[in-house]
Amino acid sequence: MGRSSSFLPLLTFLVSLFSLPIHSLSSTDSLVFGGCTQQKYAPNSPYESNLNSLLTSLVNAATYSSYNNYTIIGSSPQDVIYGLFQCQGDLSMPDCATCVARSVSQIGVLCPQTCGGAVQLQGCYVKYDNATFLGVEDKTVVFKKCGPSIGYDTDTLSRRDAVLAALASTGGQYRVGGSGDVQGVAQCVGDLSPGECQDCASDAIGRLKSDCGGAIFGDMFLAKCYARYQTGDSHIYSNGHHDHISSNEGEKTFAIIIGLLAGVALLIIFLTFIRKVNKLHMFVKVTGTALNFMKFLEWFAFGGSFAYLFFFSQ
C-alpha cells in the first residue's frame, strides 16, 4: 500500500484531465427542447415533398434574414404545410444560418415522418405543422427550467427582479437587459403583432419570476415567446457577442491533452520498471534517498504537465 500511494498525484492528474469540460464549438447549436405531433405522413407522399421544400426554404432564408415563415400549398388541403424559423436577435447572419441548418437536421432525427415538429436550440427556433399557427398568439408553456436557489442573497434577487421588470416594460420583439452579474433576455416570434408580443412577453416574464422564485437562473418558453435570466456564470445562454472556440483551438487543446496523457502513462511505466530493479530497492532500504527522489520526480512531472496544459491550452 505504501508503494502504490506515491502514484496518487499522477492518477489524480489523469482523472482531472478526463473530467475537463468539453466545450461546444458553437453553443448556439445546443438543444433546449424539441417536440413532435403524433400524426404521421406516408413515405414518398406529396406531404413529404412539400416538407422537404419548406425546410430547404427555411435554411436558405436564414442566410439573409433572422426570421421568415412560409406556406407550401399542396395539390390537396391535407398536403398544405406551414413553417417558420427565428434566430436570437443578436445572432450574426452566419451563425443564424448555421443554427437553422442544425435545427433542420435535428428536427428530422427527432420527428421522423411526423406532420408537425419544433426544435429550439440556444440560438434559433424552427417549427412546421400541417395546421396553421402563423400569426396566432399562443401562450402555452412548452418548456420551463429553473436553477438551484440563490439562498439569502437579497441583492442578487433585487437586481434580478429589476432586470425582469425592465424586460417587461421594454417594447420590441427582442429585449435584453442586465444589472451587474444579472442578465436577462426576452423575445417574441416574428409573426406576432407588437401588442401580441407585449402580452406574450409579459406573461412569460411573470411566469418566470413566479415559477423560478429565487433560482440562480430561469428559462420560460411559451409557444410564441420566451424569457430567460441568469446570475453570474450560472447558466450561460448563447448570444452573438460570446466568443466561440474555433475548431483549430479545439483540436489544439485536444492534442495537448492526448500528448500529456501519453507522457504521464509512459512516466508511470518507467517508474514501475525502475522500482522492480533489485539494486534500487536495496539502495532504498539503506538510505531511502532514491525513493524520495522518485517521489520528487512524480510531483515535478505532475506540476510541469499541469502548467503546460494551463498556459498552452488558453
CATH number at residue 88: 3.30.430.20
pLDDT of res. 32: 94
Please report whether residue 53 resides in a domain. yes
Could you tell me the pTM of the whole model? 0.67
d(CA 305, CA 101): 40
Q: Contact at 8 Å (CB) between 204 and 222?
A: yes
Please report whether residue 134 resides in a domain. no
CB-based burial label for 20 (10 Å; 0-12, 13-18, 19+): exposed
CB-based burial label for 277 (10 Å; 0-12, 13-18, 19+): exposed
Out of 231, 256, 276, pick the residue that ends a domain.
231
* Grid cell in block for residue 210: 413566479
Out of 231, 256, 273, pick the residue that ends a domain.
231
Neighbours of 68 (CB within 10 A): 18
Q: Which domain holds residue 177?
A: 141-231
Same-domain pairing of 150 and 214: yes
N-to-C CA span, the chain: 38
Residue 40 binned pLDDT confidence (cut-offs 50, 70, 90): very high
CB-based burial label for 246 (10 Å; 0-12, 13-18, 19+): exposed
Same-domain pairing of 117 and 158: no
pLDDT of res. 270: 52
User: pLDDT tens, 55-103?
Assistant: 999 999 999 999 999 999 988 999 999 999 999 999 999 999 999 999 9
Domain count, the chain: 3
Out of 109, 129, 149, pick the residue that ends a domain.
129
Please report whether residue 238 resides in a domain. no
CB-based burial label for 151 (10 Å; 0-12, 13-18, 19+): exposed
Please report whether residue 204 resides in a domain. yes
The edge-to-edge listing of strands for the beta sheet with 67-72 is 31-36, 117-121, 124-129, 81-87, 67-72
Please report whether residue 239 resides in a domain. no
Same-domain pairing of 31 and 125: yes
Please report whether residue 74 resides in a domain. yes
- Region at 238 (left for phi over 0; alpha for psi -120 to 50; beta for the rest): beta
CA atoms within 13 A on the CB side of 30: 12
Please report whether residue 136 resides in a domain. no
User: pLDDT tens, 266-299?
Assistant: 444 454 555 554 544 444 444 454 445 444 444 4
Same-domain pairing of 176 and 117: no
Same-domain pairing of 116 and 153: no
Neighbours of 294 (CB within 10 A): 16
pLDDT of res. 24: 34
Amino acid sitting at position 20: L
User: pLDDT tens, 123-178?
Assistant: 999 999 999 999 999 999 999 999 998 877 888 889 999 999 999 998 899 999 99
Same-domain pairing of 43 and 17: no
Helix-helix angle 247-275:8-18, to 10 degrees? 160
d(CA 172, CA 130): 29
